[in-house]
């Protein structure tokens, strides 16, 4: 491994160190405030509920510390020790060419999934189970993983063959062609996900006729939102966490409520949650996020073009200049850059949430939105006292106390 390879490995370690530091700050801040409910929530959240949320947050954060350290160690181990032997083992049985390159990436992905599975199992059957959220059975856990793995193989295999073939067929422009195809597939997936992919994992039923459905449809009409319908997802088969979202693109949009959300919230609160989601549509947040993702993907493909066209990057780690090896090495080495960019991306996401909150406030009033946020916080054991620096890096939504303060301060 060259000096540059060592620098990248040290950057991965430093990124993990920053992540551990931020998580320790989060743990310390939540623990320091566990015995006092914030004044704005003193009448809605009991001290026992606040302490329980602190315990859950601390347990999640400590679990995340272990996961962060483990992931960094595995990435460094792959780059320094694992990729070269894995490639040699595959090369001993497969001739040079497209099949070898694609097979290397797929084998790496399968091994990585197996390595990650114990953490996923511990999160579901220890952490979430301990706090009463988990409803997964071991059988459903493994079936879900098998479905996810099969779906990833079905999608990634032809894409990898196509990209590596383009690399040889159009060495100067392959990355631009691949980028355009990638964006087209990403847009297609937003259309196909609600009706093709999501039903592989959950059951979606139309919202039953009645006062609730009429109220939601009236809200959609007021906001000029056309969709393929209102649906209820059987989220309770996996977790007691509640949520709602809209998915799809163009005329394929659909509104989805978790059944756990409908069970626990009042009609006013559900209407405010739907209004918030419609705010994302009204402000074009989905299009904006797609545009941002497209810009990031463009940079990523440009880096791939450089790495595939030269043996410099592979040489940093003493690896063969095979496209499959280079792709995997780049994926492993990107973590420090992703971590540095995370505050900017999280800020953009939080800004969108404020805009959606303001839209919901203007449509249905601030009190139902405040009530819904408070109930979601209480039911999901979300902390009301996060560390601000930790939130800057990792919160895609503003902390609930900040959102409630914005709603109450609005004229």
The answer to whether 280 is a known ligand-binding residue is: yes
Q: Which of 277, 335, 379, 387 is catalytic?
A: 277
Q: Which residues pair with 232 in a beta bridge?
A: 205, 257
Q: By C-alpha distance, which of 218, 215, 213, 214 is closest to 231?
A: 213
Neighbours of 118 (CB within 10 A): 10
Decide if 75 contacts 335 (C-beta within 8 A): yes
DSSP E strands: which ranges in 67-198? none
The answer to whether 276 is a known ligand-binding residue is: yes
Distance CA 322, CA 345 (A): 32
3-state helix, strand, coil in the chain (%, to 5): 75, 5, 20
How wide is the angle at C-alpha 180 spanned by C-alphas 99 and 199, nearest 5°?
Answer: 75
Q: Is the dihedral of CA 3, 8, 9, 13 positive or negative?
A: positive
User: Is 277 part of the annotated catalytic residue set?
Assistant: yes
User: Is 357 part of the annotated catalytic residue set?
Assistant: yes
Task: Spell out a b/e string for 39-69, using b for 16 or more CB atoms within 10 Å of the CB, else e.
Answer: ebbeeebeeebbebbbbbbbbbbebbbebbe
Distance CA 160, CA 98 (A): 9
Q: Which of 269, 357, 379, 387 is catalytic?
A: 357
Task: Spell out a b/e string for 299-322, using b for 16 or more CB atoms within 10 Å of the CB, else e.
Answer: ebbeebbebbbeeebbebbebbeb
Decide if 267 contacts 368 (C-beta within 8 A): no
The answer to whether 271 is a known ligand-binding residue is: no
Q: Which residues participate in the annotated binding site for Zn(2+)? A: 276, 280, 353
Please give the positions annotated as active site: 277, 357
Q: Which residues participate in the annotated binding site? A: 276, 280, 353
């Amino acid at each position: 491994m060259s000096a540059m390879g060592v620098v990248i490995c040290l950057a991965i370690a430093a990124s993990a160190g920053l992540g551990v530091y931020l998580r320790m700050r989060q743990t310390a801040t939540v623990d320091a405030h566990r015995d006092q409910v914030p004044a704005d929530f003193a009448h809605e959240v009991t001290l026992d509920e606040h302490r329980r949320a602190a315990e859950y947050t601390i347990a999640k954060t400590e679990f995340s510390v272990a996961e962060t350290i483990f992931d960094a160690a595995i990435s460094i181990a792959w780059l320094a020790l694992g990729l070269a032997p894995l490639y040699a083992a595959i090369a001993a049985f497969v001739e040079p060419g497209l099949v070898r390159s694609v097979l290397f990436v797929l084998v790496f992905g399968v091994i990585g999934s197996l390595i990650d599975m114990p953490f996923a199992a511990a999160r579901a059957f220890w952490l979430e189970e301990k706090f009463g959220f988990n409803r997964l059975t071991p059988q459903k856990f493994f079936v879900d993983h098998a479905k996810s793995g099969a779906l990833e193989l079905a999608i990634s295999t032809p894409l990898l063959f196509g990209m590596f073939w383009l690399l040889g067929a159009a060495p100067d422009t392959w990355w631009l062609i691949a980028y355009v195809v990638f964006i087209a597939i990403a847009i297609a997936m937003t259309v196909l996900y609600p009706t093709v992919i999501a039903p592989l994992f959950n059951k979606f039923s139309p919202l039953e006729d009645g006062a609730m459905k009429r109220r939601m449809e009236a809200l959609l009409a007021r906001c000029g939102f056309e969709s393929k319908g209102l649906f209820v997802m059987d989220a309770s088969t996996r977790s007691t966490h509640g949520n709602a979202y809209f998915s799809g693109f163009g005329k394929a949009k659909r509104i989805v409520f978790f059944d756990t959300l409908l069970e626990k919230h009042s009609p006013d609160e559900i209407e405010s949650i739907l209004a918030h989601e419609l705010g994302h549509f009204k402000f074009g947040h989905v299009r904006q996020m797609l545009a941002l993702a497209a810009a990031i993907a463009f940079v990523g493909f440009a880096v791939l073009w450089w790495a595939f066209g030269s043996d410099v990057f592979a040489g940093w780690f003493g690896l063969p200049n095979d496209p499959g090896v280079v792709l995997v090495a780049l994926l492993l080495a990107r973590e420090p850059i992703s971590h540095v960019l995370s505050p900017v991306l999280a800020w953009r996401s939080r800004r969108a949430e404020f805009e959606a909150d303001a839209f919901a406030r203007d449509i249905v009033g601030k009190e139902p939105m405040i009530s819904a946020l408070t109930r979601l916080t209480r039911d999901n054991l979300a902390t009301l006292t996060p560390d601000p620096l930790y939130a800057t890096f990792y919160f895609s939504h503003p902390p609930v106390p900040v959102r409630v303060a914005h709603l109450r301060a609005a004229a």
